[in-house]
């Protein structure tokens, strides 16, 4: 069946669009019009603006477009959502926010101790991967997917933990750097290892794990998170098999494989950036070193 039967609101989430537009407008107002109100502020660079704007566009595509509705109909679409939402959008946000604005936020007396604690590499990596893995325990998953409050709180907390997880590897504040090049490489590899059990559990399961994709009642309840109840009441739906040609188990396994593939691609890109930055740093020659090379007699 066509997704058009769910209506415009379910397909394009106009309220979420306004929410994202509000964030983007606030970002440019703060970084351009009201920048002078912040200490040591600098002009917004094109790179920063592009990163943040792309992050907001991707966020809307993943959570506000028909992709979000597809995530309730097909498990593999849900896993694409999860991968993009927590592995792609957070690093774009971190790199898109100017350094002076990050300082203004994290140096607030109420935020600074919390931020420093949760961005410690060991704490950040364990919390994100732990909460992400717990989310995919069937009992937890089915509750989060069928309750609006739990869904909002859990996914928002996981997004914040994703920011903390990415921070040690890509933040550009010199005073907040906690890992050098080699340690960053180990950190990224450790992230990949810790995320693997959740993906493996999904990939190698021999039966459908989640009621929200196998039980018609639970599935209908989960749909209420993105489809108006009045629209659902007017439709005669039996279950997700009406929209997916794959069996439930194949859909589930494909979701786990897609999650792992996207993870490897993203981590590969981050590793390439780390190696490139590390190489550039190793190639830099300080003025004193250059003077010594040009004037060997200065060496005692």
In a domain, 294, yes or no: no
Averaged pLDDT, 278-286 = 70
Residue 287 placed within a domain: no
C-alpha closest to that of 78 among 207, 272, 268, 258: 258
Does residue 94 belong to any structural domain of this protein? yes
How many angstroms separate the CA atoms of 255 and 252, rounded? 5
| pLDDT tens-digit readout, 107-131 | 999 999 999 999 999 999 999 999 9
pTM of the model: 0.90
Structural domain count, the chain? 1
* C-alpha separations of 55 from 7, 31, 164, 228, 249 in Å: 26, 16, 16, 27, 32
Q: At 291, is the pLDDT very low, low, confident or very high (cuts 50, 70, 90)?
A: low
Q: What's the confidence (pLDDT) of residue 300?
A: 46
Can you tell me which residue has the tokens 């609006």?
A: 148
Phi, psi of 30 (to 5 degrees): -70, -45
Selection from 125, 116, 123, 106 nearest residue 165 by Cα = 125
pLDDT of 33 over the 50 cut: yes
Residue 298 falls inside a structural domain: no
Query: Tokens for 221?
Result: 């309840």
- Contact between 140 and 82 (Cβ < 8 Å): no
pLDDT bucket at 31, cuts 50 / 70 / 90: very high
Helix then strand then coil, % of the chain, to nearest 5: 80, 0, 20
Angle (CA) 91-94-99 rounded to 5° is: 150
Q: Which residues contact 238 (CB under 8 A, 6 or more apart)?
A: 216
Query: Which residue in the block uniquely carries the two structure tokens 């606030």?
Result: 26
Backbone angles phi, psi at 41, to 5 degrees: -75, 155
Instruction: Give the span between the Cα atoms of 22 and 249, in whole angstroms.
Output: 40
Q: Is residue 268 a part of any domain in this protein?
A: yes
Q: Say if residues 13 and 63 touch (Cβ distance below 8 Å).
A: yes
| Phi and psi, residue 11, nearest 5° | -80, -35
169 inside domain: yes
Does residue 166 form part of some domain? yes
Q: What is the pLDDT of residues 167-189, one digit of tens each?
A: 999 998 988 887 887 899 999 99
Tokens of 158: 């996981």
- Cα–Cα distance between 270 and 18 in angstroms, integer? 31
Q: Is residue 296 part of a domain?
A: no
| Calpha distance 47→297 (Å, rounded) | 44
pLDDT classification of 295: cutoffs 50, 70, 90:
low
8 A C-beta contact, residue 168 and residue 121: yes
Tokens representing residue 204 in the block: 């190698």
Which domain range does residue 231 map to? 4-282
Distance CA 143, CA 42 (A): 45
What's the pLDDT score for residue 274? 87
Q: Distance from CA of residue 28 to its chain's centroid?
A: 21
- What is the rounded distance in angstroms from the CA atom of residue 83 to the CA atom of residue 259? 6
**DSSP secondary structure string for all residues of 127-155:** HHHHHHHHHTSHHHHHHHHH-HHHHHHHH
Tell me the C-alpha distance between 26 and 33, whole Å: 10
pLDDT digits (tens, 9 = 90+) for 184-228: 999 999 999 999 999 999 999 999 999 999 998 899 899 999 998
């Amino acid at each position: 069946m066509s997704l058009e039967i769910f209506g415009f609101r379910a397909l394009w989430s106009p309220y979420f669009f306004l929410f994202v537009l509000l964030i983007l407008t606030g970002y440019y107002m703060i970084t351009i019009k009201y920048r002078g109100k912040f200490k040591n502020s600098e002009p917004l660079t094109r790179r920063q603006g592009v990163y943040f704007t792309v992050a907001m566009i991707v966020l809307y595509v993943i959570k506000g477009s028909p992709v979000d509705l597809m995530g309730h109909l097909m498990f593999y679409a849900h896993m694409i959502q999860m991968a993009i939402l927590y592995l792609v959008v957070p690093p774009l946000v971190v790199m898109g926010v100017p350094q002076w604005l990050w300082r203004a936020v994290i140096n607030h007396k109420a935020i600074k101790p919390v931020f420093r604690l949760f961005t410690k590499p060991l704490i950040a990596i364990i919390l994100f991967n732990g909460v992400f893995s717990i989310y995919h325990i069937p009992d937890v998953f089915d509750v989060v997917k069928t309750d609006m409050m739990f869904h909002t709180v859990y996914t928002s907390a996981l997004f914040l933990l994703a920011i903390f997880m990415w921070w040690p590897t890509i933040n550009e504040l010199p005073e907040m750097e906690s890992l050098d090049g080699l340690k960053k490489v180990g950190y990224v590899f450790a992230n990949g290892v810790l995320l693997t059990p959740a993906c493996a559990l999904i990939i190698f399961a021999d039966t459908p794990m989640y009621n929200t994709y196998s039980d018609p009642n639970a599935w209908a309840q989960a749909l209420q998170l993105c489809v108006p109840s009045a629209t659902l009441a007017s439709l005669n739906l039996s279950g997700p098999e009406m929209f997916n040609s794959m069996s439930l188990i194949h859909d589930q396994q494909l979701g786990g494989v897609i999650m792992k593939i996207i993870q490897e691609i993203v981590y590969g890109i981050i590793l390439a950036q780390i190696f490139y930055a590390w190489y550039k740093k190793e190639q830099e020659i300080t003025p004193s070193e250059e003077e010594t090379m040009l004037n060997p007699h200065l060496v005692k």
